[in-house]
Amino acid sequence: MPNPASIPPNTRMHLSFDPLIQQICLRAQQLPETRDGADCNYSVADAVMSGIALFALKDPSLLAFQDRRIDVNMKNLFCIQQVPSDTQMREILDPLEPDLLRPMFNDVLRQLQRGKALESYAFVDGYCLLSMDGSGYYSSKNVHCGSCLEKKNSKTGAITYHHQMLAAAVVHPDLRQVIPLAPEAIIKQDGNNKNDCELGRQQASVGEDPR
| pLDDT for position 12 | 64
Question: Considering the entire predicted model, what is its pTM?
Answer: 0.73
| pLDDT for position 205 | 41
The tens digit of pLDDT for each residue in 16-60 reads 889 999 999 999 999 998 877 656 789 999 999 999 999 999 988
Residue 38: domain span:
32-95
The tens digit of pLDDT for each residue in 167-200 reads 999 999 999 999 999 999 888 765 555 555 544 4
E-assigned strand segments in the chain:
122-124, 127-140, 149-152, 159-171, 179-180, 184-186
Q: Are residues 89 and 154 in the same domain?
A: no
- Structural domains counted in the chain: 2
Angle at the Cα of 195 from the Cα atoms of 191 and 199, rounded to 5 degrees: 95
Is residue 104 included in any domain, yes or no?
no
| pLDDT for position 6 | 47
| pLDDT for position 203 | 41
Is residue 61 included in any domain, yes or no?
yes
Is residue 15 included in any domain, yes or no?
no
Task: Tell me the average pLDDT of the chain.
Answer: 83
| pLDDT for position 98 | 85
Out of 70, 95, 120, a domain closes at: 95
